[in-house]
Amino acid sequence: MENRARVLIDCEDAKGLVYKISKVFYDRGLNIDNNREVVDKERKRFFMRTVVTGIFDAKELQDELKSAVSKDAHIKVIEPKNKKIILMVTKESHALGDILVRHSDGELDADIECVISNHNVLGTLVSRFDIPFVCIPADGLSREEHESRVMATIDKFKFDYIVLAKYMRILTPTFVEAYETKIINIHHSFLPAFIGANPYKQAFERGVKIIGATAHFVTNDLDEGPIIAQDIIPVNHRLSWRDMQRAGSDGEKIVLSRALNLVLHDRVFVNGNKTVIF
């Protein structure tokens, strides 16, 4: 029975890499269904995403590919299946609701393990989709104490990504480092402009002509992690900052959905503080 896999390769650039990698596939009798590659000339890094079909063992194929390229190579052979995600929210429903509907309609290509919140506000919404909802209030707790309880819940699950679907709390370095490159955030601004609190009001006061939304991986540099997806919405002087905020909510859920689709289908490489998107 034929297998199918996404092969992701990130390594130091060198001559003949495409030939060497393709030869491994050819020698194993595998068919290349789709292939894209790019070189970051400044960092001298090579990135390649290939979809192959045929009869193979994923571990053996990965080992053979490692022997064909540089020793520093990061290689993944991923057989397509639904990834597992955990959602974290506070009070706003638009991003969460969009993800829940897409999941219910079979469009998400992911399994939602649970929804974690620091408020009970969205519990009724989540219960309609038969997904576990865990409320961990932060009242009376230090940030570290609260996060410790959140992490204890998260660590009960096997998961691929944590999605901050409007989770309105700044995460500590301990939390971020525990789930490095696994946390995806939607920011209600066209980063790197207007980071931090109330970016719509900042944008209004600056008199901008566009607003936007940015989905990015979370790092310990606030709102400055590698960007996955962005989009913009034209605005003008007739809109108040609250009008901008309402318009921006639609952009946020669309951008987050686009970012999730890219990540869940293994189309994103982290390249320093940037991403390579295939």
- Which are the catalytic amino acids? 223
Under 8 Å between Cβ of 228 and 263:
yes
Pairing of strands 183-187, 161-164: parallel
Scanning 69-215, the segments in alpha helix (DSSP H) are: 94-104, 123-127, 143-154, 173-178, 199-206
Residue whose structure tokens are 């921006």: 248
Q: Which of 207, 201, 138 is nearest to 171 (CA)?
A: 138
Partners of 103 in beta bridges: none
**Residue 116 DSSP SS3:** strand
Q: Which of 226, 249, 244 is nearest to 165 (CA)?
A: 249
Which residues contact residue 123 at a Cβ distance below 8 angstroms, ignoring those fewer than 6 apart?
117, 133, 135
Under 8 Å between Cβ of 28 and 54:
yes
Q: How far apart are CA 132 and CA 123, in angstroms?
A: 9
Under 8 Å between Cβ of 48 and 17:
yes
Six token digits for residue 159: 């998961």
Of all residues in the chain, what percent are helix, strand and coil, respectively (each to 5)?
30, 30, 35
